Amino acid sequence: MAFDTIITNGRVVTATDTYVGDIAIREGKIVAIGQGLPRDNAAKIIDAGGRHVFPGGIDVHTHLDMPFGGTTSSDDFETGTRAAAFGGTTTLIDFAIQYKGQTLRTALDGWLRKAESKAVSDYSFHCIITDLASAQLEEMNALVRDGVTSFKLFMAYPGVFMLDDATIFKALQASGKNGGLVCMHAENGGAIDVIVQQALAEGKKAPKYHALTRPTTAEAEATARAIALAEMAGAPVYIVHLSCDDALEKVREARDRGLPVYAETCPQYLYLSIENFDVPGFDGAKYVFTPPLREKWHQERLWNGLKRDHLQVVSTDHCPFCFKEQKELGRDDFTKIPNGGPGIEHRLSLIYSGGVAAGRFSVNRFVELVSTTPAKLFGLYPRKGTIAVGSDADLVIFDSGRKHIISATNHHMRVDYSMFEGVEVTGMPETVLSRGRVIVDGNKFLGRPGSGEFLRRSTYAQP
Ligand SMILES: [Zn+2]
């Protein structure tokens, strides 16, 4: 059997196993794993001795080329997937937004066009629903049949994205039947809006008030309500970007009762805190995203949640806006600052560093959090999310000893600042393959826009 590529002598790491071996690739798939595989009939040999080999990272929460607040997130599907690749992430699930009155299909087609000729690695979409009449309820079934098997609903942003409980409940009932998975933005948008308006009336307009007007209780309340609605509907639910211990407690309680409730957190909630707003002038706008940064003590609770499987996934909620001209739209009023931060590139290094290198959890748990569980929950497993015969050869050769200082001066995202400026990480991707093609080799990018494929996903199955 002739191989296109063999990766030799790497320390192969999956969610369950760690061993030294060779991985052989043909036509984009892993076709053999073993020790001492025959080198002579391989077109290309990559020596991974002394390094880890991980399945490619899967980031299930990104916003590329997304209109928000009169501007558009600064990474498109080319620059975003490229930056992701430099960080070891080879699959994204982004969001197709249905605006009021539109069909869900219109939303999906719009986002497919944005990605098609640009993505350098594989991608899929959750469908954001902002308007759910009976026609769109029917359409949810059709989308699931077409491989778009997850939906995102908002309990925040009244008048823009927010849905009422009855509508959310109907969507959950539909997903309980059609095998879809509802992803929930859980914050009590009604109460938050009252607090925001009161702050503005008192002249509190600086960036830090974005955080001070969105209490952790608002997130915990909505998380509990989302869980209750899902339980009544007989559906699973996935809480996105969980940021605080109060909400984590609600998820933990539900999981202890055996409910199919899942949650992700993001590196910004593990590494940053409300103290980041203590910067001169308008610089705090760099940390305006939703849910907001919390008091520092929440960080260790979230790390512990990742360790103990109260949290199952780390995504980024990558939604970059440049400081100049974009974040600056809110110079006089924090409610006009585009919400979002850049993070797509550094997820693996930050979680490896704080999780594995810092001794909080095993390298297998790391792989589970950044690749395997995302693949399982969102219908991509075992094509993605593991290293196995028959799986796509999305692979990351990772130098676990390499230190790197994150900075806007060396990152690949199309944005003029870094949320993690100056943070030193231990562990960096060295070589990254997408379906058997080397797309990142050290500092060199070898991928090609348009080579990423849209992934049709399976229905939800309890992992
Ligand atoms: Zn988001």
Name the one residue in this structure whose structure tokens are 């049709």.
456
Average pLDDT over residues 283-298: 98
Task: Report yes or no: 222 and 187 within 8 Å, Cβ to Cβ.
Answer: yes
35-55 pLDDT, tens digit per residue, is 999 998 899 999 999 999 999
Residue 41 has what pLDDT? 81
Count of all residues that appear for the chain in the document: 463
Task: Identify the band that residue 432 occupies on the pLDDT scale cut at 50, 70 and 90.
Answer: very high
The pocket of ion ligand 1, defined by CB under 5 A, consists of 317
94 C-alpha to ligand 1 centroid (Å): 9
> Both ends of the chain: CA-CA distance in Å?
34
63 C-alpha to ligand 1 centroid (Å): 7
Check whether 359 has a pLDDT greater than 80.
yes
Task: Identify the band that residue 299 occupies on the pLDDT scale cut at 50, 70 and 90.
Answer: very high
Task: Report yes or no: 21 and 370 within 8 Å, Cβ to Cβ.
Answer: no
pTM for this model (two decimals): 0.98
8-27 pLDDT, tens digit per residue, is 999 999 999 999 999 999 99
167 C-alpha to ligand 1 centroid (Å): 20
Average pLDDT over residues 363-387: 98
Average pLDDT over residues 415-439: 98
Residues whose CB falls within 8 Å of the CB of residue 8, separated by 6 or more in sequence, listed in order: 22, 37, 39, 45, 46, 47, 48, 49
Average pLDDT over residues 303-326: 98
Average pLDDT over residues 225-238: 98
Task: Identify the band that residue 463 occupies on the pLDDT scale cut at 50, 70 and 90.
Answer: confident
Average pLDDT over residues 218-237: 98
Check whether 1 has a pLDDT greater than 80.
no
Number of H helices, E strands in the chain: 13, 19
Check whether 266 has a pLDDT greater than 90.
yes
Average pLDDT over residues 97-126: 97
Task: Identify the band that residue 462 occupies on the pLDDT scale cut at 50, 70 and 90.
Answer: confident
376 C-alpha to ligand 1 centroid (Å): 20
25 C-alpha to ligand 1 centroid (Å): 35
What single-letter DSSP state applies at residue 347? H
